[in-house]
Amino acid sequence: MIKYLGSKRTLVPLLNRIIAQSGATTASDLFTGTTRVARGFKQAGAFVTAVDTASYAHVFAKTFIELDASTLPVAELTDAIARLNVLPGKHGYFTETYCVTSRYFQPANGERVDAIRDLIESDYRDTWLYEPLIASLLLATDKVDSTTGMQMAYLKTWSKRSHNELKLLVPDLLNGTGLALQADALEAVKQLPEVNLAYLDPPYNQHRYFANYHIWETLVRWDEPSTYGIANKRLDVRTRDHRSAFNSKPAMPVALRELVANVRAETLVLSYNNESWLSREELLDICSVNGHVEIIDVDFKRYVGSQIGVYNKAGERVGEPGAKRNTEHVVIAGEKSMVQRLMQALPQD
């Protein structure tokens, strides 16, 4: 998985216990990001619908959630990856923008990204391999970046991993089926059929994913956008089109209330961070429309970027790390006996 702000790596074991105990055969993950939670649900045997607005999240969802490994000629993917891994590099938009006029990746790796991504577009666009190949390229590129995990800035001196050679691996496709939707969760819930379990993991502050992961957007869209500033962000980062109601302090509580009210699910599971704009009481109140509500507080280590320190646009350290621990709230709402059954399945300490 890519390094991702708000990724639920540490919550996955708990969420996996919840889905297993619920016996859900249908589930949705409405802010799927890296898809790591949706993957757990799929592995538990549920048909999962994975929704996100981001293009790279959609590529991951198409790859890991929609594709059914048991029905695919996976050897074709292995062969295509072997072909891409020996392709000579060429200097193109990616190299110039993210390796020369900014320094997110070493030029030798940038040239390989240019060559590989061009070939994926020319030779695989209309095949089932298209998304898994882009997913593989995204995962490989993330492993050789020179950032603290977000693309607001790059490091002043090259990271150690940036010196490694870009290497595509065969993505770990899962058996089973699912659905990937690139959509605003607020709109998607109006169309989606009822599920046994819906998981909501909305952004919890003003930091927009479209701005934080602008290079992944470009790597997927392959649209060579004009950029601005030292960080070389896409010009459309500045427009209103890519704003999420969940990144606005006044809009977020209203949006979450609307979303929770419109989600059609027997059981709702929502994770939310203690550094967010909502208090525990507001969260409980919003979720109570779904029936009985219980809340679990999970303490876990903060995202690594915030431990390293605060950086300015040139990648210079300008602030000390904040508190190293934060709390994630996991809210479970639904029919009382089900909510209590799920609570009993969780470790109590």
Ligand X SMILES: C[S@@+](CC[C@H](N)C(=O)[O-])C[C@H]1O[C@@H](n2cnc3c(N)ncnc32)[C@H](O)[C@@H]1O
Using CB under 6 A as the binding rule, the residues of this chain from 166 to 195 that contact ligand X are 184-186
209 binds ligand X (CB under 6 A): yes
218 binds ligand X (CB under 6 A): no
Closest CB 151 distance from ligand X, rounded Å: 13
- Return all residues near 119 (Cβ < 8 A) that are at least 6 apart: 83, 84, 87
Cβ proximity to ligand X: between 124 and 246 the closer is 246
Closest CB 347 distance from ligand X, rounded Å: 20
Instruction: For tokens 């009993």, name the residue.
Output: 344
98 binds ligand X (CB under 6 A): no
212 binds ligand X (CB under 6 A): no
Closest CB 144 distance from ligand X, rounded Å: 20
138 binds ligand X (CB under 6 A): no
Contact segment (CB under 6 A) with ligand X among 45-53, 71-79, 144-152, 261-269 equals 45-53
Site size toward ligand X, by CB under 6 A:
22
Among 178, 203, 253, 315, binds ligand X (CB under 6 A): 203
Closest CB 75 distance from ligand X, rounded Å: 29
Closest CB 330 distance from ligand X, rounded Å: 12
52 binds ligand X (CB under 6 A): yes
Among 154, 246, 272, 303, binds ligand X (CB under 6 A): 246
Closest CB 182 distance from ligand X, rounded Å: 9
Helix axes 280-287, 251-262, angle to 10 degrees: 30
Among 102, 109, 151, 244, binds ligand X (CB under 6 A): 244
Closest CB 204 distance from ligand X, rounded Å: 7
Cβ proximity to ligand X: between 28 and 109 the closer is 28
Residues forming contacts to ligand X in the complex (CB under 6 A) are 4, 6-8, 31, 33-34, 36-37, 51-54, 57, 184-186, 201, 203, 209, 244, 246
